[in-house]
Structure formats: structure tokens, C-alpha cells
Chain A
């Protein structure tokens, strides 16, 4: 059972699934990136996605009535895309109007739009279908799926894998990944992109050199609405073939964090979105195991909180190190502090693993019936939770203060290697015996620590 899950993760099918579930996160993330670059973070992405998703479904379903069954099948999806994006643009225009012209608060206006999108779609759905849950009674259409030529599968070594990943993906997935590079080009290679970034970084300065701040921000919000619209269309006309009440399920909010995680660049945003896609797909995959579905379902949300924390911590540490660089001037040992910084990131990641362990332990303890009854679940939960707690407490001092890594480097190394070793052991135990796995895991952990910065640290002492 577990082996199946692990093997499933390293298959082309799983990668294809990641691409599919990444798309509805990536598209609004790009929108969030652009709006954030212009200094007007679009909180209303969720509502815009829902409106677009719903409009797309309704238009594509009725296009068969309007143009006849034959023409409707080919025109319908594209008309749905067009009108769905138009609705999303309209909502983002309302947001821009209320924020930029009527001086409303961006945050609250965005929330209002989310409420509006969620309720208006359900109200209109109820009018059209008499159902509050979904539009399964409407014969809506999907965006076309792109079939690769069979020739690709014939390419030796990678051909089959490549074909398995990229064949039969929705056209929206292709559009999304192409748009990443379009956004990168626009942001960094065009005057408009430069103005946009200038407005976001310092609106007063941008104003003083004659950039029309308001117009740039209007445009940025409209563009983010455009991306949210595309994402919504993918939800209801690619990912699924119907509209469900509140089907975006927080993706519009996840999209708000991915740009910061991706370091504020389009490609970074794409990678951050893919991480969420990975967790999403993993949650679906783990669902086949005998554990409550709620646990994997909450993985992406945990991941978001962790990512926020790591991002915040990482920023603080970089600031401290660069302040030190300024202060100490030429005597600054860049290689040494670089190593310390890398080790601190490793510490943080392991802390996150420990937190997940604590949470998993708590989850097992609080609902033992879901994990095979109290006899097996309670000891397992106590063991997992307790060990994770211990590792968390051991790691805490090194995350709070990176100078500790320098002062008590041996303790730091020990904590890192044990935590990393245990994590790797858990993973390896799926393939090989436990005792062997523990040995290999600890060895691997030590190796990783040595490579990532331990080498420099040891020499520095």
C-alpha cells in the first residue's frame, strides 16, 4: 500500500497531476504578483475566480442553444473563456474604482468582492438550475486538451516519460506556463514593467518623475483580474467540468503568498505554485491510504503557514547578516557566514518537519479511531508527537539566534544530523528494513550537513 503511494509519487502520472493542480494556483499567483509589484495587493482574487468560473460554465452550456450543437461545441469554451475573463475584469475594475478613486480600503473592498463572488454565483446558479451545490444539470463544456504527437513517445530514454507528463494537458495549463515567461518579459524588459515596479517600490518617487501612479495601479489590478479570470476558467472548464459552490477553496488566498515565497519573481512564483501543486496532488494521492482524508487535505494550508514563517525568518537572518557585512567591512568572512545561513535554513526546515510531526501526533491522539483504534494509535501518536516535540525544542535556540550555530556548533550539528536522519529514515523505511534505514538515514544526514556548510564551519573553528 505505502509502496504504491511512494512509487506513484515518482511517476509521470503524478507529475502530470502536479501540472494540472498547479495551474489554478499559478494563474492567480501571477495576478497577485503583478498587483503586489504595483503595491496594490489584490485580495479579491478568490471572488474573481469564482465569478469567471461560473460565467464560463454558464456561457459554454448555453452556447449550444445559441449556436446549435455543432458550432456550440467549438465556439462555446472560447466564448466562455472570453466572457468569464470579462466578468473578472469587471470585478477588478470595481475594486480599482473603490480603492483608487473612492479611497476605500483595498483589503476590505477585496473581502467584499470575495463575498460578492461567492454569493452571486450561488444565487444565479439557484435561479438557473434550482440547485445550490453545483451545475451538474448544465451541459457545460471543457477547454480543449492538447494531444502531443505520438512521435514524442518514441524518443529514446526520456520520450515516454515526457509524453506521459505533457500529453493530454488542458490548453489552460500550457497557457499558464507560457504566461509566466510573458509576465517576466513584461516586468523586466518593457517600460510599462519598469513603471509598474517603480510605482510599487516608491509611489512618491514614481509620481515625481511623471509616472501616472493611479493609471499604473488601475492597469495592475485589471491585469490581476485577468489572470484570476483565467484561473477560474481552468477550475470549472479544465480541472473539472462543472461549477461547484465555492469551488476555488482558498486558492485565491494561497495565490497571495506564492509571490512572496517565490522571491517576487515570475519564475520563483511558478516554483512556489508548483510546491503547492505538489502538496495538493500528494494530498489526493495519500487519500488512498487508510488515514482520515482531513489530514492530507490540510497539508497545503500547513505548508502555507510554514512557508510564511520560513520566509519571515529567512528575511530577518539575511538582514542581520548583511548588516554585519556593512559593519565589519573587509574582515567579513562571506563563505563562513554563508555556510551559517545555509545551516540555519536547514534548521528551519527541520523545525517545520518537527512541527508537522507534533501536529500529526496531536491529530492521531485526538482521533485515534481514524488511525486504527486506540491500541495502536495512542502509542504511535505519543511517540511521533513526543519525538517531534523534543527535536523542536532542541532546534529552537539555533533558529532564534544564528550566532548560537557558531558558538555551539557541535550541538547544532548533532541536532541537525539526528533530525535529518530521522526524517530520511522514515522515508527510507518504506523501501528497506528499519535498522538499515536508520543507519543509512543518519549517514545521509551527516553527509548533507557536511556538504551544505558543515565543512566550512568545521574549518572555521
Chain B
């Protein structure tokens, strides 16, 4: 019966997975099969994209209606993010008020000689309006020119070239300062034919004005005031540009796609680490420190064994980094289990200690003496994870990841230890009464989380950077929290949420590059996602309906822990055992 009930769900999942695989591949190669087969190692690209599809299938099948909630949360957060981007882009219209410009008085009449004036007929003069980061920026110019009675003059004020987007207006004033004529724009005809210098209709022209008397006149030019409509439409088009880069940027080209997949591998590993630990209701944030230790150990091995063949070395490195993470996870685990030290605070402190230790070893031991900046030597070829897609850093870590996900799933759902972890997570006292050695389990769960985090460090060191650098994690650990939470701590869903989140991160990079919107906007979106996903009251109604439906269908409440709503940690739980 259960299988039949899941059957349509499988179909939806398969459909969604296939669609996404097709869409990603199609966008990458602009829809041409020749272009794809011309790319080296295209079979592996297809394979990875198929794995992406599998992740989506798992997401749909595992979370069922919860999947809708996750998607809705992400969409709402993206909309809010768009709003934030919009607000940050409200100054986009400023580009019309600054830039290099030129002015010119054009006339066929003979120039008046002698006077000390700023402009001569038919000579260009220019400057830059509102130059940024200048003490006294130029915001208007008033330059004089001398004319005789009856001279027919045309006054031009225009952007210097196509790069300058300044939108100017021009006025003709007489000696007393009275405005005789003014213009804010040019006609198509003037731009196309009459005046060669004009670039666009934004430039201002007073054409064919006959000077009433001889004397000194003033050409006054200033950027046009930007009206509200322009401000909003500019901000809108900039935000749209930014979001286009965010949403489609990562799959435009193979190398960008590589950035996405590479980032996703790290994030999925970190997400798994948090999902395991949070399952036992342990609010350990130690993944960052464990990651640093994993990276350090694998880096040291890599640097010290240049002659061992990669086939032997890589497994050793993988094992060693996992062990390093295990040990560094064991410390807060033991402190929590046997001494009752608050794991949140202790892991945060241990993270800093690990970071400092990493910096110290890197700076004083691993850095080549002649290096100008703090980084280790590049790893030799045999210590680098083999690349499977040319032109990217997508490595065999993809397969390692598949194995890790499978083992984690096996551990959590099919072993006594996994059962104990889940029992402790739902009710510590019940676990104690039931004969679970909760102290040992708590310690182990943090250490097991550490293994996966250590592997993430290994991937960063030996797969991504190929050397040890300062700040190797780049505060990725907190992003791992979001990945785990979005997956509702379900290890089979983590790959999907990791891909999703890495997509946003990669998109953020390209958004910054293509649209000059700060990377931090995406971190704000992340904060919004966490707030929304934890706000249980927002979805109580929805969940109640889902539970009722489950009960109706099965005749009993829930058949496994994973079917329940995500553990709603109480404030008491957060403070437990401080």
C-alpha cells in the first residue's frame, strides 16, 4: 500500500529530476548537441547532471508535501532578496548624474577676438560631473563665450563617449544671468545627422539660436535631475540584471557550472555533518574547526609525500582527514556528554582555536620561506583529487560524495547507532529509560559529524585550492547549517538543498561580477531563509493538514521518525546542560 501511495510521487520526482537535468544541460550547451559532444569529457558532465536529477527525485520522494514548503520558503526569501537588491540599487540612476561630458558652441560666424572667455566657437571643452570619491566634485559648469549680434549659434552639451552615461541639460544665459534658452534633450535627427559629436537623445542641444546683441554669454550645463520614475525603473532594470545573473549565471558555461558543483560538494558534506549532529538535538557548530583540521592533516600529508602514487595516496588522505575531523569532534562531544559543557559555546570557541592553530602552522611551518603571502606550496599532482570534467574543478569527490551520502543514510536509518541517535534527538529521557548509553552516543554523534566535516576540509584543500591557504573555509560552516535545516535534517535531502544553496552562492558570485551587486545580499537572503524556515507558527496550519492526511491514509500516526515534522527544538533544549 505504501508503495502504491508513493508511486505517483516517484513519477513526479522522476519527471522533475529529468526536467532539471535536461534544462541544466540544455542551457549549458545552448541547446546544441554538436556543441556538447565537442566538449571534452561531456559524458561526465551528463553523469553529474543526472546525479543532480537523482537529488531532486530524492528530495521529492523523501519530503513529499514538505518539499513544497521548502520551495515556498526559498521563493519567498528570493522575493525578499529581490526587494533588498532593489533597495541597494536605488542609486543606480545616479549614473545619469555623473560621467565625463563635453560642451561646444557651434557657429559659422567669425569668432570675436580678444575677450577673456572660456569657450571659442567650435572648440570643445569638457570635464567630469560628480566624480566619485573627490573632495569637491563638479556638479555644474558655467562657461562664457563672446558673440556678435546676429550670430547663429548652437549650444551642445553631451556625454564624452558611450561609456559615460551622464544626462545633461544646457542653458544659454546672457551677461545679466537671464536664461535665454534651455534644452534637456536632442532629437533623433540631431543625433543622427546634424551634429556628429552627439551620442544619444540624452544629450542636450539648443539649435540655431540667434544672439540678440554683441557681448559675453554664458553656457550653463548641469546634469539633469533624476525623477522618481527613472530612479525606480533604473533600480528595477539593475535588479533584474542582477537576478538574471543569480538565477541563470551558474549554468551559462561549463566553467561556471564547475564552480557550482564544486561548491555544492563542500556544502553537501558540511550539511550532512550538521544533519547528523542536529538529529541528536546537539547544537554543535564545530564543523568549521573540524574542517580546518581535516584540511590541515590532508594538506600536510600531501606536502610530505611527493613520490607516492595517487592511487595509494588519495585514500590515505581521505582516511586521515576523516580521522582528524573525528578527533576534533570527539573533544566537544566528550565535554558535553561527560561534563555537561554547553556544546554550542564550546564548539564556537574550538572553531576559533582550530583556525588560529591552522594559521600558525601554515605561517611558521608550511609556508615556503620565499613565498610572499601566507600559503603552502602547491600540491604535487599525485595528491590532487583527479578531475573528471576538463576545465573545471569537478573531481572524483563527486563519487566520494555519493558513497558518503549512502553510508550516512545507512548509518542513520539502518543501524542501531542511528536509531539511538534519533531516539536521543526526539527524547533524551526516553532514550535513557530505554537503555541507550546516551553519553556514549552523544559523544559519538559529534565525532561522526566531525568525520564528514573533515572530508569537506580535505575536498577544499586537495580538490578546490590544491594548496593550503588562509581562510580556507571562508565561513562556509554556517552555510552548512542552512543546508541541513532546509533538508529538515534528512540526509537524503541534503544533496538537493546543498545543490540549491550552492547554486545561490555561485549565482551570487556571478551577480557581483555581472551586475555589481554585493555578495552579501545573498547572505542576507540566507538569514531570511533561516528565519522563515524556523518560524513554525507560519506553517502550523499546513502541517496539521499534512499530519491528518497521513493518519487518514495509514490508520496510524507516523511510521518512522523521518515522517514527523522536523524536531522543533524548545528553548529549554537549547539551554539544556549549559
CB proximity to A under 8 Å, residues B72-130? 88, 91
Interface stretch of the complex, out of A118-126, A385-393, A446-454: A118-126
Query: Which residue of chain A lies nearest to B91 when distances are taken between CB atoms in the complex?
Result: A127
Of the stretches B203-211, B354-362, B383-391, the one at the interface is B354-362
Contact with A along B490-529 (1 / 0, CB 8 A): 0000000000000000000000000000101101101110
Contact A367 B523 (CB under 8 A): no
Selected interface stretch from A52-60, A253-261, A420-428: A253-261
Is B42 in the interface zone, CB < 8 Å from A? no
B2 at the interface (CB under 8 A from A): no
Does B341 count as interface, using CB distance less than 8 angstroms? yes
Per-position 1/0 for A123-143, Cβ under 8 A of B: 100110010100001000000
- Chain A, Cβ-Cβ closest to B365: A367
Do B478 and A309 touch (CB < 8 A)? no
B546 at the interface (CB under 8 A from A): no
**A105 & B537 in contact (Cβ 8 Å cutoff):** no
Stretch of A107-115, A170-178, A431-439 at the chain-chain interface:
A107-115
**A87–chain B nearest beta-carbon distance, Å:** 15
A298 on the B face (CB < 8 A): yes
Interface centre among A104, A105, A308, A368 (most CB of B within 10 A): A105
With a cutoff of 8 Å between Cβ atoms, the chain A residues found around residue B530 in the complex are: 108-109, 111-112, 115
Whether the Cβ atoms of A260 and B340 lie closer than 8 Å is: no
Complex: how many Å from CA A207 to CA B352?
41
The 0/1 profile, CB within 8 Å of A marked 1, for residues 346-383 of chain B is: 10111011001101110111000000000000000000
Q: Which chain B residues lie closer than 8 Å to A132 at the CB level?
A: 518
- Is B352 within 8 A of A301, CB to CB? yes
Closest residue of B by beta carbon distance from A371:
B364
Say yes or no: A111 contacts B478, CB within 8 Å: yes
The answer, yes or no, to whether B569 is at the interface (CB within 8 Å) is yes
Partner of A305, one of B350, B357, B575: B350
> Which residues of A sit under 8 angstroms from B352, Cβ to Cβ?
250, 298, 301
Partner among A98, A118, A309, A369 whose Cβ is within 8 Å of the Cβ of B339: A309
Q: Does B133 contact A257, Cβ atoms closer than 8 Å? A: no
Question: Which residues of A sit under 8 angstroms from B340, Cβ to Cβ?
Answer: 312, 315-316
A116 in contact (CB, < 8 A): yes
Interface residues of chain B: helix, strand, loop or mixed (majority): helix
Interface size bracket, B side: 35 or more
Taking the complex as formed, is A284 at the interface, i.e. its CB lies under 8 A from any CB of chain B? no
> Shortest beta-carbon distance, B67 to chain A, in Å?
20
Q: Is the CB of A102 closer than 8 A to any CB of chain B? A: yes
Q: Give A377's nearest chain B residue, CB to CB.
A: B364
Please tell me if B485 contacts chain A, counting CB pairs below 8 Å: yes
Once bound together, how far apart are the Cα atoms of A241 and B536, in whole Å?
41
Residues A253 and B345 in contact in the complex (CB < 8 Å), given A115-B527, A363-B360, A369-B365:
yes
Identify the closest chain A residue to B278 (Cβ): A108
Q: Do residues B335 and A305 form an inter-chain contact, with CB atoms below 8 A?
A: yes
CA distance A113 to B341 in the complex (A): 24
B349 touches A123 (CB 8 A): no
CB closest chain-B residue, reference A110: B574
Q: Are B521 and A312 in contact (CB under 8 A)?
A: no
Which residues of chain B come closer than 8 Å to A370, judged between CB atoms?
360, 363-365
- A120 adjacent to B485 (CB under 8 Å): no
Within 8 A of A (CB), among B308-366: 335, 339-342, 344-346, 348-350, 352-353, 356-357, 359-361, 363-365
Q: At the interface, yes or no: A313 with Cβ under 8 Å from chain B?
A: yes
B526: A residues at CB distance < 8 A: 115, 119
Given A111-B478, A115-B478: A297 touches B518 (CB 8 Å cut-off):
no
Residue A103 interfacial (CB < 8 Å) = yes
For window 316-375 of chain A, which residues contact chain B by CB distance below 8 Å? 316, 363, 366-371
Q: Assess whether A101 is interfacial by the CB under 8 Å rule.
A: yes
- Contacts of A256 on B, CB cut-off 8 Å? 344-345
Interchain nearest-CB distance for A138 vs B (Å): 12
Knowing A106-B571, A127-B518, A250-B352 are in contact, say whether A308-B346 is a contact too (CB < 8 A).
Answer: yes
A8 lies within 8 A of chain B by Cβ: no
Asked whether any CB of chain A lies closer than 8 Å to the CB of B578, the reply is: yes
Residues of A within 8 A of B88 (CB): 123, 127
Q: In the complex the two chains form, is A305's CB within 8 Å of B568's CB?
A: no
A294 within 8 A of B: yes
Checking B353, B478, B485 against A298 with a beta-carbon cut-off of 8 angstroms, the contacting residue is B353
- Shortest Cβ distance from A210 into chain B, in angstroms? 22
The smallest beta-carbon distance between A107 and chain B, in angstroms, is 4
Query: What's the least CB distance linking B59 to chain A, in Å?
Result: 21
Give the residues in chain A near B361, CB-CB below 8 Å: 366-367
B534: chain A residues within 8 A (beta carbon): 98, 104-105, 108-109, 112
Among B481, B520, B526, residue most surrounded by chain A Cβ atoms (within 10 Å): B520
Inter-subunit contact B520/A368 (CB<8 Å): no
Contact flag A107-B344 (CB < 8 Å), given A41-B571, A122-B520, A367-B363: yes
Q: Does B538 contact A (CB under 8 A)?
A: yes
Residues of the B chain whose Cβ atoms lie less than 8 Å from the Cβ of A118: 523
B214 at the interface (CB under 8 A from A): no
Smallest CB separation, A196 vs chain B (Å): 15
Q: Is the CB of B356 within 8 A of A107?
A: no
In-complex Cβ contact of B360 among A102, A292, A302 (8 A) = A292
CA distance A266 to B368 in the complex (A): 50
- Asked whether, in the complex, the Cβ of A101 is within 8 Å of the Cβ of B574, the reply is no
| CB <8 Å contact, A102 and B359 | no
Q: Give the Cβ gap from B468 to chain A, nearest Cβ, in Å.
A: 13
A229 contacts B by Cβ under 8 Å = no
The verdict on A295 contacting chain B, using a C-beta distance below 8 Å, is: yes
Neighbouring A residues of B531 by C-beta, 8 Å: 94, 98, 104, 109, 112
A406 in the interface (beta carbon within 8 A): no
Inter-chain CA distance A107–B356, complex, in Å, is 26
- Establish whether residues A294 and B357, one from each chain, have CB atoms under 8 Å apart when the complex forms: yes
A103-B571 contact in complex given A126-B518, A250-B352, A294-B359, C-beta closer than 8 Å? no
Cα of A308 to Cα of B350 in the assembled complex, Å: 12
Q: In the complex the two chains form, what is the Cα distance from A4 to B537 in whole Å?
A: 60
Tell me how far the C-beta of A456 lies from the nearest C-beta in chain B, rounded to whole angstroms.
27
B345 touches A112 (CB 8 A): no
Residues of B within 8 A of A308 (CB): 335, 341-342, 345-346, 349
Determine the distance from Cα of A21 to Cα of B341 in the docked complex, in whole angstroms: 26
Interface string of B557-571 (1 = CB under 8 A from A): 000000000001101
Contacts of B342 in A (CB 8 A): 257, 260, 308
**Is A74's CB within 8 Å of the partner chain B?**
no
Would you call A285 an interface residue if the criterion is a C-beta within 8 Å of the partner chain's C-beta atoms? no
Residue B136 lies at the interface, judged by CB distance under 8 Å to chain A:
no
* CB–CB A119/B520 < 8 A: yes
Which residue of the partner chain B has the closest CB to A302?
B353
- Tell me the bound Cα distance from A41 to B101 in angstroms: 58
Tell me the complex Cα distance, A311–B340, Å. Answer: 9
Max chain A C-beta neighbours (<10 A), residue from B283, B361, B571: B571
Q: Mark A263-302, 1 if CB is under 8 A from B, else 0.
A: 0000000000000000000000000000010110110011
A24 beta carbon closer than 8 Å to chain B: no
CB contacts under 8 Å to B, within A77-106, are 94, 98-99, 101-106
Task: Identify the closest chain B residue to A112 (Cβ).
Answer: B530
Could you write out 19 A-B pairs with CB less than 8 Å apart? A41-B574, A41-B575, A103-B540, A104-B531, A112-B531, A116-B524, A119-B520, A123-B88, A123-B524, A132-B518, A253-B345, A256-B345, A298-B352, A302-B349, A304-B346, A305-B350, A308-B335, A308-B345, A366-B365
19 new A-B contacts, CB < 8 A, other than A107-B571, A120-B520, A366-B365, are: A43-B344, A103-B540, A105-B534, A107-B344, A108-B569, A109-B534, A109-B535, A111-B478, A113-B527, A116-B524, A260-B578, A292-B363, A301-B356, A305-B335, A305-B346, A308-B349, A312-B340, A367-B364, A368-B364
Which 9 interchain pairs have the tightest Cβ spacing? Answer: A370-B364, A119-B523, A116-B527, A112-B530, A123-B520, A367-B364, A102-B535, A119-B520, A294-B360
